[in-house]
Amino acid sequence: MASRRIPVASPAAIAAAAIVSMAVVAAAFNAPSISFDEGYSPLFGEKNIIQSAGGRTVKIHLNKFSGSGFISSEIYYHGFFSASIKLPSDYTAGVVVAFYMSNGDIFEKNHDELDFEFLGNVKGKEWRIQTNVYGNGSTNRGREERYQLPFDPTAEAHRYSILWTNATIIFYIDDTPIREVVKNDAMGGDYPSKPMSLYATIWDGSAWATAGGKYKVDYKYAPFATEFSDLVLHGCRLNPIQQLPASEQCRDVDESTAAADYSYLSPENREALLRFRHKYMTYAFCYDELRYPIPLPECEVVHSEKARYSNSGDIKLQQKQIARRSRAARRRRVRSRVEADRQFVS
């Protein structure tokens, strides 16, 4: 995502997790939310940022004039960061929505980044979600994973969360972990290690976002609005004036974060993670042999799982999917013939 940044100006079963209410999720994580003004400020396209009364909800818009986005008012060194997000519906090809951490404005050549990125689609097709991890400017070693969603992200808001500590990174959707990155020595600087800000943006990614740029943003469907609520910034806010290293400034907060329920994957949560990835992951960089003939150091290749993916890292088309599509195609052909017969008779 780093090369596509802002224009100038992805113990319950996943099906149950998909319908857990946001209030229950917030209670489960024990992470109090804040208003927009308590933690964020506009980044660009300020006229396209609309807050609710009290600032507990904020909408960012994309129209033919501009996208929009906001940024945390502080920089953070580790923590738990979250928002409930409702995506725009209808035709959204070319639209990119992102909720992410980055320090690219401070470290232009060796920045760190943690991404949730949502890619729009043509009408009738689902939004796609991907996560990514960059450390120390390692943009030539992208660690993308892409997923389908087990719910309609345009019907109601769902919570997307990032846990970042000095030992692990966990991405959550609602209260289900979908990805874990465990730091190891071989990763070196590829593991994010510098303070970052939180961002939320919506912008025109027509050049690449949908079918490699085949389908562009169609502004007759604009404005495209994404709603953010339940904003959580639970981390160590760094004081740049203090001379103490970040690890010393943040020792107490790091200990508090490590003790929180979202920092530990119980056996039930780990099973939920594996179940989600088995059912919904569609691309895994660890299985992309064309890009990485030698897997990156944090990859733990599971051969039974690897068999489900092609050497490009993309999930293979399953026989059930092929059969389902064939049946759907046959039904469409039958309906077409029936309609043609009716028209002929009339």
Q: Is 113 marked active-site?
A: yes
Q: Residue 117 catalytic? A: yes
Point out the catalytic residue in the list 38, 74, 113, 248. Answer: 113
Rounded to whole angstroms, the Cα distance separating 247 from 252 reads 10
The catalytically annotated residue of 38, 46, 117, 145 is 117
d(CA 220, CA 167): 46
Q: Return the active site residues.
A: 113, 117
